[in-house]
Copies of this chain bind each other. A is one copy, B any other.
């Protein structure tokens, strides 16, 4: 690793130095050395690897589907979450934690009963046509370049890099090779239940438990890798358990209203934990030379 030229999208400052020093320490023979088999890096997706404002990418995908579902069956316009979507009820939609059961029902109903391949085709269609509402580019272009550089650097140092999303596992898999240069088996995430029948895998009405958020993240990571993360990156309160379980924790702070978005909502606990536990906080404004 050439420490001068590594991570070219990062400003030479304390965050970049802490990351490089950690990678050096676990890959160099000595007390802190970690064998390659235990080098697991896990990154939250929304807000850590790609832009999550003004709405989650997957929320845009689902809203479009909900609108189509109401067209197919107008009676749905009287039921949540479809009602809020067709009426543009931002208040209802904003408070997602107050409406988890209705939203999960919508999420599972939206693509219930179709094969995993048909679902992937729907996701691919979305990424072909949809544009980020304020940046005006395809969603495949709203990943953070410095984070992609970090994932590549970790891979070059024999880490196994995973995306670990509270959002849909199979949603991210449809684009992980293209946007993150990661194979499909490196995506961990929440999922609807599946059923195998006559050679096909169908999406069913349940949600796999636990979802891949909060304390569910270290559970998913163990389930998939048989390890706790050596390095983890997140940006929000739902990432605290994963960050706390990791040897090196990195918290992306959204403080760049000009180039991206500035917000601490939903990250208050994570920012406090970073302070208390000495995690590396990455200021998008000060530490990222380029964002996208």
**Which A residues are closer than 8 A to B by beta carbons?**
37, 40, 116, 160, 169-170, 173, 177, 183-185, 187, 191, 194-197, 199, 201, 208, 215-219, 222-228, 241, 244-245
Contact present for A219 and B196 (CB under 8 Å): yes
Contact present for A173 and B226 (CB under 8 Å): yes
Would you list the 3 A-B pairs with minimal beta carbon distance, nearest first? A184-B226, A196-B215, A196-B218
Interface of A is mostly: helix
Contact present for A201 and B219 (CB under 8 Å): yes
The 9 listed contacts between A and B (C-beta, < 8 Å) are: A40-B185, A184-B227, A185-B225, A185-B226, A194-B222, A196-B215, A197-B215, A199-B245, A201-B228
Q: Apart from A191-B223, A201-B218, A224-B224, what are 11 other A-B pairs with CB-CB below 8 Å?
A: A184-B225, A184-B226, A185-B225, A187-B226, A194-B219, A194-B222, A195-B219, A196-B217, A196-B245, A197-B215, A201-B222
Task: Give Cα A173 to B226, complex, Å.
Answer: 7
A201 contact set on B, CB distance < 8 A: 218-219, 222, 228
A245 contact set on B, CB distance < 8 A: 196, 199
A37: contacting residue among B184, B222, B226, CB under 8 A: B184
Task: Give Cα A187 to B227, complex, Å.
Answer: 12
Chain B residue with the shortest CB-CB distance to A226: B184
Task: Give Cα A197 to B215, complex, Å.
Answer: 7
Task: Give Cα A15 to B199, complex, Å.
Answer: 24
Least Cβ–Cβ distance between A175 and chain B, in angstroms: 12
Q: Which of A173, A177, A201, A227 has the most CB of B within 10 A?
A: A201
A208 contact set on B, CB distance < 8 A: 223
Task: Give Cα A195 to B241, complex, Å.
Answer: 11
Least Cβ–Cβ distance between A60 and chain B, in angstroms: 22
A177 contact set on B, CB distance < 8 A: 37
Task: Give Cα A201 to B219, complex, Å.
Answer: 7
Task: Give Cα A226 to B186, complex, Å.
Answer: 9
A226 contact set on B, CB distance < 8 A: 169-170, 173, 184-185, 187
Least Cβ–Cβ distance between A282 and chain B, in angstroms: 23
Task: Give Cα A185 to B215, complex, Å.
Answer: 20
Least Cβ–Cβ distance between A237 and chain B, in angstroms: 15
